Amino acid sequence: MTSTEWLIWVRGPGLQLSLGIFILGMTYRIMQTYFLGRAKNLAEPRGSQWLHGMKTIWWRSFFHPGMTIRGYFTIISGYTFHLGFIITLLFLDQHIELFRSWTGLSWPALPPIVITITAVLGIAALVAVLVDRFADPVRYLLSDYQDYLCWVLTVLPLVTGLLLVYKMWLPYTSLLVVHIISFEILLVAIPFTKLSHVFTIFIARWYNGAIAGYKGVQS
């Protein structure tokens, strides 16, 4: 197959397939979790589950001083790679065009130089967390193959995107194919790995908030 044929495939059937698997897998995962259900709480409530659940979804996104005493490394690197990835994904013109081709919606983009910075910072933070995953005994103990796999899947779109913008390594067309494929593999992997936290985080946080909120505690 020529690189043009590859490009047509990854932009067409490849994208449909990966998006389909992603949506199917994620819907499956969310529905399966929700319909597993839980027992009704018979104790007299002190607070609203719903409200506290929603509040926890929101407030858990922010750092509060009680969260860690180990230092700011986890916090800073964590925020940096998440924000770097999300901003790069959502605010590059070319990416917005992709979302527009799916949904008809578009929004203002950030200048390419800003996206370059967010992508570079994102990659740097990802490298830092990977090093830390080996260096920190806690994270090393918790890690399994999936953590490393997910790391690779997350960093690849950023790296290939950056190479693409700066025209390094491969001809543009081939690199664009590699870049889109890296994104598609990431899409397919999300529902089946810990990366599904991008959606299930809302369920987990809600339950956390609801369980504590039932007792009148804002978690």
Q: Which of residues 34-93 bind other proteins (CB under 8 A)?
A: 34-39, 41-44, 46-47, 56-57, 60, 66-70, 74, 78, 93
In the bound state with other proteins, the residue whose beta carbon lies nearer, of 4 and 51, is 4
Least distance from other proteins to the Cβ atom of residue 123, Å:
18
Determine the longest span between alpha carbons in the chain, in angstroms.
Answer: 67
Rounded CA-CA distance 219/214 in Å is 11
Out of 33, 128, 149, 185, point to the residue binding other proteins (CB under 8 A): 33
> Which residue's entry shows tokens 């936290």?
197
Of the candidates 50, 51, 76, 111, which one interacts with other proteins according to CB under 8 A?
Answer: 111
Question: Nearer Cβ to other proteins, position 121 or 176?
Answer: 176
Alpha-carbon span 7 to 194, nearest angstrom: 29
- Number of residues in contact with other proteins, rule: CB under 8 A? 96
Phi, psi of 24, rounded to the nearest 5 degrees = -60, -50
Please list every residue from 138 through 167 that binds other proteins, using CB under 8 A: 138-144, 147, 167
Residue 19 has which token pair?
């998006």
Contacts of 6-14 with CB under 8 Å at 24 or more apart are 6/174, 6/177, 7/173, 7/176, 7/177, 7/180, 10/177, 10/180, 10/181, 10/184, 11/180, 14/180, 14/181, 14/184
For the bound state, the minimum distance from the C-beta of residue 95 to other proteins, rounded and expressed in Å, comes to 7
Find the binder of other proteins among 48, 94, 130, 163 (CB under 8 A).
Answer: 94
Minimum CB–partner distance for residue 200 and other proteins (Å): 4
In the list 50, 76, 100, 169, the residue contacting other proteins (rule: CB under 8 A) is 100
From 10, 28, 36, select the one nearest 191 (Cα to Cα).
28
Single out the residue of 31, 51, 76, 131 in contact with other proteins (rule: CB under 8 A): 31
